[in-house]
Chain A
Amino acid sequence: GPKVLQIPSHQIIDMGQMVTLNCDPVSNHLYFYWYKQILGQQMEFLVNFYNGKVMEKSKLFKDQFSVERPDGSYFTLKIQPTALEDSAVYFCASSLARAANTEVFFGKGTRLTVV
């Protein structure tokens, strides 16, 4: 079936440094998402992105976060600077349409550890 690929699977970074998480969405999908899951907690919506713009973001999407997908390449989540509380698994997802009645496909996640 359709796959969302996330690179890398694990990343360890020093607090205060910048990190970029990469996502290769399903090829014909138009809507892209990032979710964050802290160990032992719910997976929480961060942001969705369409046509080069952030369509919706949650309060977890801090000013230090940014997303982009330059010219159909990777959909990226950049955190600059990183903080200890950014340690989590970040899931990228994509869908054909934005509607909540449309299936969203998830990647395997990138485990980010900020030390």
Chain B
Amino acid sequence: QQKVQQSPESLIVPEGGMASLNCTFSDRNSQYFWWYRQHSGEGPKALMSIFSNGDKKEGRFTAHLNKASLYVSLHIKDSQPSDSALYFCAVSHNYAQGLTFGLGTRVSVFP
């Protein structure tokens, strides 16, 4: 059964700083990787996806995937207080399969 683990559990970042979130997964057949963000009182919202090895940049957010190392990461550049949220890594190995989520990393950005 797929295991998705995230680290660190929580992260405190100064405004303007860089936040780095890590995620490892256990199933080598995993194909689809998502980062979801959940603000307090809201449901999770997709932040970005990555399906190929390497880096993918969307604005201040960069995802990195290394399938051979069973590793995916998210980096938030120039962090803003509005980035304070719970970040989930979500993985699927099947085109139509439900996502397997990690426990999340809580990011707090202080001014």
A42 and B32 CA atoms in complex are apart in Å by 18
Chain A residue at minimal CB-CB distance from B6: A42
A45 and B101 CA atoms in complex are apart in Å by 9
Contact for A45 among B36, B46, B98, CB less than 8 A: B98
Q: Which residues of A line the B interface, CB within 8 A? A: 4, 33, 35, 41-46, 48, 55-56, 58, 91, 93, 98-101, 103-109
Chain B interface, >50% SS class: loop
* A57: min CB distance to chain B, Å: 9
Inter-chain contact A4/B31, CB cutoff 8 Å: no
Task: Report the count of interface residues on B (CB-CB < 8 A).
Answer: 24
Inter-chain contact A100/B96, CB cutoff 8 Å: yes
Inter-chain contact A108/B101, CB cutoff 8 Å: no
17 residue pairs A–B, Cβ–Cβ below 8 Å: A42-B102, A43-B101, A45-B98, A45-B99, A48-B98, A56-B98, A58-B98, A99-B95, A100-B31, A100-B96, A101-B32, A101-B95, A105-B45, A106-B36, A106-B43, A107-B43, A109-B43
Residues on the B chain within 8 Å of A108, using CB: 41-43
Chain A residue at minimal CB-CB distance from B48: A103
Inter-chain contact B95/A100, CB cutoff 8 Å: yes
Contact for B101 among A42, A48, A101, CB less than 8 A: A42
Inter-chain contact B88/A43, CB cutoff 8 Å: yes
**Can you list, as one digit per residue, whether each of B2-13 has a CB less than 8 Å from chain A (1) or not (0)?**
001000000000
The 8 closest A-B pairs by CB, nearest first: A45-B98, A106-B43, A100-B92, A100-B32, A43-B101, A103-B46, A108-B43, A106-B44
Residues on the B chain within 8 Å of A35, using CB: 98, 101
Inter-chain contact A4/B43, CB cutoff 8 Å: yes
A78 and B46 CA atoms in complex are apart in Å by 27
